[in-house]
Amino acid sequence: GLPVINLLHKHQKTGQPIRSDGPQSHLKTKKGTPTMGGVLILGASILAILLFANITYHFVWVSLLILVVYGATGFVDDYWKVKRQNSNAMTARMKLFLQFLTALVAASIITAATPRGLNTMLFFPYFKELCFNLSWLYIPFAVVVISGTSNAVNLSDGLDGLASGLMIIALTVFLAVAYCCGLPNAVDYNMFFIPRSGEIAVICAALIGACLGFLYFNKPKAKVFMGDTGSLALGAILGAVAVMTKHEILLAVVGGVFVMETVSVMIQVVYFKRTGKRFFRMAPLHHHFEQLGWSEKKVVLSFWGAAVVLALLGALAFL
């Protein structure tokens, strides 16, 4: 890890550009910190997947596709941010186009590879009998889940250790979900049997291990940021895992902190356009608490705690 971080530092003399409209303390505490640390997460997780997962299985190579394409998109964006010293490098339109195109390809393959009769169904946790057949609407829905989660994790990556810690918690739940979905008696856990979904559990384990390793270097005060290289890819694969295991609604519960971060930005934008005033002191939500006087460490630990509670709440769906 350190050799790569030192290499990033060497080639990024000024580090990641810090938002001028963000918390003023960040201009001092985070200045000069290199970005693109997501290459560590992606490199470690992809290597582990290649070594321990069956890459002939559709879900495995689709996951690799998502990690590579979303990671590459984030890497290019990070590169131009550093080169131009501008926190908004790649246009939002271009980023969204690449995200939606990749998500469309992935969602189409996942739907085709999922057993017929199950592939377009939407299930609700806590209510085993409640389900809807989305039919042709399922693929657009899955695209929104994958690309939406990608951007939600990206928005959450604003404090040292926040996004990586939240990902570890969410992925731990989905590791258990993926494993149980592959059991012949999956119905005993209020789940539907998905053949060979144990391979998805291997993917989750690889990502958890990579995020844990990265967290050592990303904890306050961070030696490196994951950047869009990591956050876009991690969010996309989390969304894809939810789609592959047919637990898209559960993702909204387990990933509730990501949802709150995203909704806070939406509320802020809409409220400001209508009233000319801010609803939150600053968005995303983690910056609002910083502006209230909370330390960065307190915000991160509080959000992690909330994520653990939501993860336990999600687990209740299978009791």
- Per-residue model confidence (pLDDT) at position 21: 54
- Per-residue model confidence (pLDDT) at position 92: 82
- Per-residue model confidence (pLDDT) at position 27: 47
Q: What is the 3-state secondary structure (H, E, C) of the chain?
A: CHHHHHHHHHHCCCCCCCCCCCCCCHHHHCCCCCCCCHHHHHHHHHHHHHHHCCCCCHHHHHHHHHHHHHHHHHHHHHHHHHHHCCCCCCCHHHHHHHHHHHHHHHHHHHHHHCCCCCCCEEEECCEEEEEEECHHHHHHHHHHHHHHHHHHHHHHCCCCCHHHHHHHHHHHHHHHHHHHHCCCCHHHHCCCCCCCCHHHHHHHHHHHHHHHHHHHHHCCCCCCCCHHHHHHHHHHHHHHHHHHCCCHHHHHHHCHHHHHHHHHHHHHHHHHHHHCCCCCCCCCHHHHHHHCCCCHHHHHHHHHHHHHHHHHHHHHHHC
Which amino acid is residue 52, in one-letter code?
Answer: F
pLDDT at 86 over 60: yes
- The per-residue pLDDT of the chain, averaged, comes to 88
- Per-residue model confidence (pLDDT) at position 151: 95
pLDDT tier, 16 (very low <50, low <70, confident <90, very high otherwise)? low
Distances (CA, A) of 83 to 31, 76, 169, 248: 15, 10, 34, 37
* Selected residue with higher pLDDT from 262 and 127: 262
- Per-residue model confidence (pLDDT) at position 241: 97
- Per-residue model confidence (pLDDT) at position 158: 87
Quick one: average pLDDT of 238-262?
96
pLDDT tier, 221 (very low <50, low <70, confident <90, very high otherwise)? confident
Quick one: average pLDDT of 170-194?
86
pLDDT tier, 81 (very low <50, low <70, confident <90, very high otherwise)? confident
> What global pTM score does this model have?
0.91
pLDDT single digits (tens) 67-80: 999 999 999 988 88
Distances (CA, A) of 144 to 90, 125, 179, 283: 21, 19, 25, 22
Quick one: average pLDDT of 250-273?
95
pLDDT single digits (tens) 88-100: 667 788 889 999 9
* Selected residue with higher pLDDT from 221 and 251: 251
Give the residue from 158, 160, 162 showing the smallest Cα distance to 218: 160
pLDDT tier, 184 (very low <50, low <70, confident <90, very high otherwise)? confident
- Per-residue model confidence (pLDDT) at position 23: 56
pLDDT tier, 150 (very low <50, low <70, confident <90, very high otherwise)? very high
pLDDT at 145 over 80: yes
pLDDT at 141 over 60: yes
- Per-residue model confidence (pLDDT) at position 53: 94
Phi, psi (degrees; rounded to nearest 5) at 198: -60, -25
- Per-residue model confidence (pLDDT) at position 260: 96
* Selected residue with higher pLDDT from 26 and 51: 51
Quick one: average pLDDT of 138-160?
95
Rounded to whole angstroms, how far apart are CA atoms 92 and 14?
A: 24
Rounded to whole angstroms, how far apart are CA atoms 137 and 166?
A: 30
